[in-house]
Structure 1
Amino acid sequence: MADDPENTLIMTLETGPVTIRLRPDLAPGHVARIKELAREGFYDGVVFHRVIPGFMAQGGDPTGTGTGGSDKPNLTAEFSAEPHVRGVCSMARTPNPNSANSQFFIVFDDATFLDRQYTVWGQVVEGMEHVDELPAGEPPTSPGKILSVKVAADA
């Protein structure tokens, strides 16, 4: 599945490229949204506004504050038993399980306490070292920026 260009995302950070294998088998609605936003250029220039070493890096908010999202409707939860381990990409949300929109996070280390509570939609397969280099903070003093997100089939 990692060689399926339609289900592979190339996220270019200031620190380097990150390749994400999308998981439509786990979260078809969320994968469709991520690809739709990527194709619209929604994530280009957006920062990682919350980076907690040993836990995760969160981005996808166009305001950079952690309170914003896209103008599209929120998504219905697609929780699974897929473990939140290093490199897993999952959707951020409010306490409402059906509030995921555009914000996501990438897990640095074991965070299996999140399993079945957040929607896993992908897995970093290359470039995790570039995610590791994102500036830490809530928010970081000088947040790391997403330069572009592209579906590999379109690249």
Structure 2
Amino acid sequence: MIKSIVATTTAFCVCAAVFFSLSSVSQAADPQAPEQFYVKFETSAGEVLIECNRSWAPIGVDHFYKAVKGGYYNDARFFRVVPDFMVQFGISGDPNVTKKWDADVLKDDPVTQKNVRGTLTYATAGPNTRTTQLFINYGDNTFLDGQGFAPIGKVVSGMENVDNINSEYGESPKQPYIEQLGNRYLNEYFPKLDYIKNATIVEK
């Protein structure tokens, strides 16, 4: 199954490859995150600081906090970059890690914030299908709000580095191959992809 959303009047989509039954939606809550915290992405394009507020989307924020604390996003590629729309990431470089985390599927949060420039939001395949893939909005993509895309945070520093993430491969990397082969596939066919070197919880 390919996670995708398509606006009625646009060809753009946000997609994430996942393989699961909808009956596998996680029933166990993640450990509760702080009401507000900051995540620093040390990327090959420069540092990016993200502010997360649990009140925006508690289920998604708790899961993101758990994933960052667990090192999930370290060495993850920005595998899908659509200028003026969004940049997507969140498939582990290790297929075994991806498989484990993809089994933990989240219920949706209500949409309380708008998908404006710099917001961080989960990719989905429809209702109650979020796992680990996220995107940062390059533009004001408020058409996503009515489709259930609930922002969990926003870039507060380093958005210029997000803008500079390599877009030469566009949407060419195939998500099922990334899921199955990890960074081995990306390094061979898309060696210039930018990536997250390290993601950590930090004090502002």
TM-score, normalization: structure 1?
Answer: 0.86
Structure 1 residues 82-91 or 144-153, which shifts more?
144-153
Q: Tell me what 2:56 maps to.
A: 26
Identical-residue share of aligned pairs (%)? 30
- Residue pairs, 1:22-101, within 5 angstroms: 22-62=52-92, 70-94=101-125, 96-101=126-131
Q: Tell me what 1:138 maps to.
A: 171
1:71 Cα deviation from its structure 2 partner: 4.3
SS in 2 for 1:7: strand
SS in 2 for 1:99: coil
Larger Rg: 2
Q: Which amino acid aligns with 1:132?
A: D
TM-score, normalization: structure 2?
Answer: 0.67
SS in 1 for 2:199: strand
Q: Which amino acid aligns with 2:58?
A: P
Q: Which amino acid aligns with 1:38?
A: V
Q: Deviations 1:23-68 (Å, cap 9, x if unpaired)?
A: 2111111111111111111100000111000000000011599xx5
Structure 1, unaligned runs of 5 or more: none
Q: Which amino acid aligns with 1:54?
A: D
Q: CA–CA distance in 2 between the matches of 1:120 and 1:143?
A: 24
Q: Could you tell me whether the CA contact under 8 Å between 1:5 and 1:151 is conserved in 2?
A: no
SS in 2 for 1:115: helix
Q: Tell me what 1:12 maps to.
A: 42
Q: Which amino acid aligns with 1:58?
A: Q
Q: With CA pairs under 8 Å and 6+ residues apart, which has the higher RCO, 1 or 2?
A: 1
Q: CA–CA distance in 1 between the matches of 2:104 and 2:66?
A: 13
* Greater helix share, structure number: 2
Q: Could you tell me whether the CA contact under 8 Å between 1:46 and 1:62 is conserved in 2?
A: yes
Q: Tell me what 2:153 maps to.
A: 122
Q: CA–CA distance in 2 between the matches of 1:5 and 1:125?
A: 17
Q: Could you tell me whether the CA contact under 8 Å between 1:92 and 1:103 is conserved in 2?
A: yes
